[in-house]
Amino acid sequence: MIKSIKNIIIFLITISCVGQETIDALLYQGDPLEKSAFLKKENPWFARYQVGESPVVGFPGETKNEKKQRMQKWVDAKYGLFIHWGPQRAGGEYEISSEVSNAFNPVDFNAKEWVSIAKRLGFKYIVITAKHHAGFSMFDSKLTDFNIIEKTPFKRDPIKELAIACTEENMPFGVYYSVWDIHHPDYTKNIGSKNYVKYHEFMLGQVKELLTNYGPMISVWFDGEWVNSWTVERATEFRDLIRAVQPNTVIANRIGQRRRGEGDHHSPENFSPYIGAQSEPWETCAKFDGSWFYNGTNKSESADWALYNLCYATSRGGNFLMNLGPTPEGKFLETSVEKLEKVGNWLQINRESIYGSDKGPHYLLEWGTCTQKGNTLYYQVFDWPKNGELHIPGLKTAVKSASFLADKAHKSITTNREGNDVVVKLPIIPPYKMANVIKIELMDTPIVDNAARALKKEIKKNQAMRQVAEGSYFLPAGFANIYGEKLHFYYGTGSGAQRENLKGWTEESDYVTWDLLVEKNGKYNLEITYASLVAGGAFELFIAGQNFKHTVKEVEYNPKAKKSPLRVDYKTFTLGEVVLKSGRYQLVIKPIEISEEAKKLHQGLMMLRDVTLVPN
């Protein structure tokens, strides 16, 4: 004890007698990136998460047109297969004991069979876990013995075999790599570790192994980036490595700390955000088997679920990366394959409406989705009209022709115009299984009036994170017209509190608007849903000559959890009652004041998710 105290005194005397340069050398062991991370401790990470740190640009100096050309193959693919596979099972995916790894012997694994199945199911690229949070390398890494060659009786490199099989079958291939590693002795989630530089170099080495030894990569998918020890500066070195070795590779935005990083595309998880005028690339990932890794059951989602999510993402300009967790023996679940074959068969017939398509011009279609190619629109109808009349809202452009995409004879379907709407005459019974696709060719570029209308049916909670009643006017963040330099739309990271919202509202001059088209007189409760880590200030909402003032509250969150925009709860507040007559309106929200604390933490006024007018 006395000796320890003596050593501490000697250390304190030493650092008091030397310069800052020497102190830095003692604290950070010559690692400038660790010093950079340490200096940010005074700025709470949830502040950096908002808008406070520069993102990791996907390709420095690249023009928008150059980025579009580089990413076009990935964007056109639309439908990717995500594979989480390893010795671990769901529920135990963060630890792999020697007993678990010794039992992992996937003798039924056949890379060519996997690729053949993926193609049959309609997938256009594959991304597989090379290293997950457990730190176990599913490839023949020369930088650690904690890998599938050294620690399992399998003694084969499935990542290499799958990469080769993908190349042979012209299937684009990519890898998932976790920043978070609970096995490596030099890894830490905390800032200020003298050994983290060793782990940083280890990761760089492993990523270089993958980039140089496993063929062309369509995607490198980082994850586990939410830890404090991962910073923009560290991420930038990985970005530079990827660009040096495989410059055309697409990088998920999870390369940046807490998905704040720009990368090449956004990566919401288990949902597709409501998208309006936004046009940035994004990809959502979701679990078909109920968990990321195999969970020991045969339970999975339905074919209709998979098709709906694919069309939903595609119609909003995104990709759908759907996960399957193979068994420890190396096989996909037969029940999952059987279900997804229905989607594959649908894609064989309706592929034109998905692959290579663009986001549709409609913000919201209650009965289905819409994709676009030039002057042609493809409507995927999931909710068939009982009266045989499909109303397409706000489509102003004249219709040239309409037909079922699955109809090889291209028999014309009758369409009529009702104001700015188009009415499609359909049979009472849908002619094809699953979603019927109506192909409509227009006389010119599609022009759509996306003013919000009263909902014909309720929106389920899992679609909007809260139930929205029939007859309501639903105005999500993604549909807002944004005015200001810092206020921006955020695509979201995960479900629940991590859904899409408006961020960066730090300027009083920034404001947002939505358009509404009211068809009949009515009274409505005006509701707003937002999150706020601190009291953000006050705003005023204007509509139909009426105004409503509101002071932004600090929304309660789990007191046991660290203050975090990933864990914050969204709360709905009623501002009052508004009376609307039939006609067109604009709803406007402008700040009255924004608190200094909210500005300092880069939260701004609030994280706004939606405004809803509920019939009273």
pLDDT of residue 21: 41
Residues 69 and 23 in one domain: no
pLDDT of residue 387: 95
Residues 125 and 237 in one domain: yes
pLDDT of residue 95: 77
Q: What's the CATH number where 563 sits? A: 2.60.120.260
C-alpha distances in angstroms, 547 versus 136, 453, 587? Answer: 58, 21, 10
Residues 271 and 141 in one domain: yes
Residues 31 and 146 in one domain: no
On whether residue 57 sits in a domain, the answer given is no
Q: How many domains does the chain have?
A: 4
**Helix (H/G/I), strand (E/B), else coil: 441:** strand
pLDDT of residue 88: 83
On whether residue 145 sits in a domain, the answer given is yes
Q: Please, are residues 249 and 262 in contact by the beta-carbon 8 Å criterion?
A: no
Residues 155 and 18 in one domain: no
pLDDT of residue 225: 84
On whether residue 447 sits in a domain, the answer given is no
Residues 427 and 297 in one domain: no
Q: What is the mean pLDDT of the chain?
A: 88
Residues 343 and 376 in one domain: no
Positions in the chain short of pLDDT 70: 1-55, 90-94, 192, 258-261, 463-464, 495-497, 556-568
pLDDT of residue 549: 98
Residue 34 sits at the vertex; the CA angle it makes with 29 and 38, to the nearest 5 degrees, is: 115
Q: Please tell me the pTM assigned to this model.
A: 0.91
Residue 96: partners with Cβ closer than 8 Å, 6 or more residues away: 86, 87, 88, 134, 135, 136, 183
Q: What's the CATH number where 253 sits? A: 3.20.20.80
pLDDT of residue 234: 85
On whether residue 56 sits in a domain, the answer given is no
Tokens at residue 310, please? 């694919």
**Helix (H/G/I), strand (E/B), else coil: 60:** coil
Q: Please, are residues 86 and 96 in contact by the beta-carbon 8 Å criterion?
A: yes
Structural domain that includes position 39: 1-49
Residue 450: partners with Cβ closer than 8 Å, 6 or more residues away: 276, 361, 362, 363, 364, 394, 479, 515
Residues 70 and 32 in one domain: no
Residues 300 and 272 in one domain: yes
On whether residue 592 sits in a domain, the answer given is yes
Residues 264 and 181 in one domain: yes
pLDDT of residue 603: 81
On whether residue 534 sits in a domain, the answer given is yes
Residues 301 and 375 in one domain: no
Residues 431 and 494 in one domain: no
On whether residue 402 sits in a domain, the answer given is no
On whether residue 306 sits in a domain, the answer given is yes
pLDDT of residue 11: 42
